[in-house]
């Protein structure tokens, strides 16, 4: 996930140990949620239980998602049905080798590629009734009002909602409002024009400090707001883990991305005293959920040198 890094860190959150969150974190989610285990089997996590998600047997990290609703009924083994839709983006997904054919508010078909394989299709219907005609094996199906697929939400006789994953911890005892260095490692899936995805946010002060990844206009980036100064770290590769680090002090900030210095140096005022670290979002309202994977967050209450920044992000 990352190098051990220079000495003196006062926070070391490693999310690459499935089954146990680091001490001091409060994690909540007001519903059950699904994830894929190391054997490729979809499992269900209980209310308020975190999820470590795998692909091809490899751990991707701690999965953090926004709330989503699956509009399909009896979605484990889907049958032909109709749903009410509005004129906005929806994403259809399922596992298996069958076919779902759309009619009514939208047309076209989504064809499965085999057992254990998930296929997705994003489309914008007209407002009205969308009919989905099912042939063959269509398992763990989902339609959600969004531009990309999230983890499967099981349903029975009614639509169901997966609540947002929320993870926080207090800053007291290890955070300096004068000078410091943040490090984070994460991975964001390749899901089209995905918008903002939060890595972490500090709140309780007069302005937010955050790190985020985003794709707009097809360009994937990682950037941050260090006090009130926006910094671009670099261009990420969706589906590939990345590492970022940033310093702050009255003298300014330096940033590093995947072992290289980037974003230049920008003047910042000394950050205020914040109270809460929010992981996987970009503000105190828990907006812009990661919809991806957190792998680690570290903090030093001092400014790391450029060489140290490159070391921790390599």
pLDDT at 193: 57
pLDDT band at 13 (very low <50, low <70, confident <90, very high): very high
pLDDT at 268: 59
In a shared domain, residues 286 and 176:
yes
Q: Residue 58 CA to chain centroid, in angstroms?
A: 17
Burial class (CB in 10 A: 0-12, 13-18, 19+), 205: middle
Residue 272 neighbours by CB distance under 10 Å: 13
Is it the case that residue 1 has pLDDT exceeding 50? Answer: no
Mind listing the pLDDT tens digit for each residue in 215-269?
Answer: 665 667 777 766 556 777 888 888 899 998 888 887 778 888 999 987 655 555 5
Tell me the average pLDDT across 166-194. Answer: 86
Q: What is the mean pLDDT of the chain?
A: 89
pLDDT at 5: 74
Tell me the average pLDDT across 289-313. Answer: 94
pLDDT at 269: 56
Tell me the average pLDDT across 181-201. Answer: 83
In a shared domain, residues 137 and 229:
no
In a shared domain, residues 156 and 87:
yes
312: part of which helix (H) or strand (E)?
Answer: helix 306-313
Question: What CATH number is associated with residue 284?
Answer: 2.60.120.200
In a shared domain, residues 86 and 149:
yes
pLDDT at 179: 86
Q: By residue range, what is the domain housing residue 200?
A: 11-19+169-313
Is 229 part of any domain? yes
Angle at the Cα of 15 (from 14 to 18), degrees rounded to 5? Answer: 125
As beta bridge partners, residue 168 has 26, 278
Mind listing the pLDDT tens digit for each residue in 72-88?
Answer: 999 999 999 999 999 99
Structure-block tokens of residue 212: 């985020």
Range from 16-25, 96-105, 192-201, 205-214 carrying the lowest mean pLDDT: 205-214
Which of 130, 161, 192 is at the close of a domain?
A: 161
Output the CA–CA distances (angstroms, integers) from residue 255 to 74, 202, 286, 306, in the order listed.
48, 18, 25, 8
Most confident of 6-10, 24-28, 208-212: 24-28
Helix (H, G, I), strand (E, B) or coil at 47: coil
Return all residues near 208 (Cβ < 8 A) that are at least 6 apart. Answer: 201, 202, 225, 282, 283, 284
Residue listed under structure tokens 């969004």: 146
Residue 82 neighbours by CB distance under 10 Å: 14
Tell me the average pLDDT across 152-158. Answer: 98
In a shared domain, residues 192 and 293:
yes
Which of 126, 161, 196 is at the close of a domain?
A: 161
Q: b or e along 170-184 (b: 16 or more beta carbons within 10 Å of the residue's beta carbon)?
A: ebeebbbeebbbbbb
Which of 140, 161, 182 is at the close of a domain?
A: 161
Return all residues near 29 (Cβ < 8 A) that are at least 6 apart. Answer: 45, 47, 48, 49, 162, 163, 164, 165, 166
Range from 118-127, 129-138, 256-265 carrying the lowest mean pLDDT: 256-265
| pTM of the model as a whole | 0.92
Q: What percent of the chain has pLDDT over 70?
A: 88
Tell me the average pLDDT across 155-175. Answer: 95
Is it the case that residue 100 has pLDDT exceeding 50? Answer: yes
């Amino acid at each position: 996930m990352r190098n051990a890094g220079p000495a003196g860190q006062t926070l070391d959150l490693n999310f690459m140990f499935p089954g146990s969150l680091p001490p001091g974190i409060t994690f909540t989610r007001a519903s059950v949620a699904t994830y894929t285990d190391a054997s490729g089997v979809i499992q269900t996590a209980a209310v308020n239980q975190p999820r470590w998600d795998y692909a091809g047997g490899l751990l991707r990290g701690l999965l953090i998602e926004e709330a989503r609703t699956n509009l399909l009924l009896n979605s484990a083994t889907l049958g032909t049905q109709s749903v009410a839709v509005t004129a906005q983006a929806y994403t259809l997904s399922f596992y298996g080798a069958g076919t779902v054919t759309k009619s009514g508010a939208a047309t076209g078909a989504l064809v499965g590629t085999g057992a254990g394989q998930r296929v997705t299709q994003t489309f914008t219907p007209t407002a009205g009734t969308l009919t989905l005609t099912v042939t063959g094996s269509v398992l763990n199906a989902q339609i959600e009002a969004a531009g990309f697929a999230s983890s499967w939400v099981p349903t029975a006789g009614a639509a169901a909602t997966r609540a947002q994953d929320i993870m926080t911890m207090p800053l007291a005892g290890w955070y300096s409002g004068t000078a410091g260095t943040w490090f984070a490692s994460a991975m964001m899936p390749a899901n089209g024009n995905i918008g903002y995805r939060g890595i972490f946010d500090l709140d309780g002060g007069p302005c937010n400090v955050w790190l985020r990844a985003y794709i707009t206009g097809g360009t994937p980036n990682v950037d941050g707001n260090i006090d009130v100064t926006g910094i671009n770290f670099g261009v990420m590769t969706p589906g590939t883990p990345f590492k970022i680090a940033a310093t702050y002090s009255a003298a300014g900030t330096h940033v590093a991305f995947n072992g290289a210095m980037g974003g230049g140096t920008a003047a910042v005022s000394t950050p205020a005293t914040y109270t809460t670290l929010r992981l996987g979002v970009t503000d105190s309202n828990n907006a812009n959920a990661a919809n991806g994977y957190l792998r680690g967050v570290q903090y030093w209450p001092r400014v790391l040198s450029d060489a140290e920044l490159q070391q921790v992000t390599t």
